[in-house]
Every structure is written in structure tokens, then in C-alpha cells.
Amino acid sequence: MNQVLVEICLRVRDIDATLDFYTNLFDFEIASRREFPEDKFDLIYLNSPGSNVQIELTYNYDAEPYNVGNGFSHLGVTVNDLEKMHDICKASKYETGELRGLSGGTPSYFFVTDPDGYRIEVKRAK
């Protein structure tokens, strides 16, 4: 049996802020958007260049704030220029951590937090 990871779903409160984060800070593109006003929710699928995995953003119109569970840690993306991306994130309105390396080694990653509190680990592409 061949199994392939195709999507990750995130429930979001402010769809405009979330789309700004993923499409303007990162290079995600809207693949499709399906609106279900009668059921009070929208589904927006994002593609990341170079990946077959989509992020499904689920926007429930009248939802209470979501709690990011303590079992979920983060999403990960790689970039060709880690220092440049870190500078871009630090200059943005989004909470951005410092560059870090495993066991104090050469910096190879940092975290940035999206509008709903989901953390994105940005790693140096190998």
C-alpha cells in the first residue's frame, strides 16, 4: 500500500491575516478556495512551491478562539537563504525567534508564529 501525505489542516480565526502570513511572508499560493456560507465555513488550500503537501485552512465563521494543543509543535519549511528570511520575518509584525543551531552548532533554523499561534520552523535547505 502506497501512502502519501497530501495535506495538513489548520483551523484559523482571521482568514485575511492568515493568508497574508502564508502568501506574503512565505511563498505559498492559493490553490483553491471553496466557500460554504450556508454551513458557515470556508476551505482555502495553499501550495508551497516544491512540495506536494498542501495546507488546508479551515475558516469557521462563528468559531470561538482555538487553542493550539500541547501535542502539536510546529510546521516546517526550508529556505535557501536562512539569514535573509530571518531578517524578513524579524522586520514583519509576526513573532520571530532568534537563529539557532542544534546543540549550539551553526545556526540552522528559527521559529516564526502565525496569526493563530501556529509556529513555523524555518530551516536552512540542505
Q: Is residue 28 within 8 Å of 34, Cβ to Cβ?
A: no
What size, in residues, is the chain?
Answer: 126
Annotated catalytic residue, options 38, 64, 95, 121? 121
| Nine cell digits for residue 105 | 552548532
Q: Grid coordinates 471553496 are at which residue? A: 34
> Is 95 one of the catalytic residues?
no
Sequence-ordered alpha helix ranges (H) in the chain? 15-20, 82-91
Nearest-10 Cα torsion for 28, 33, 13, 21: 20
Whether residue 65 contacts residue 11, with contact meaning beta carbons closer than 8 Å, is answered with: no
Residues marked as catalytic: 121
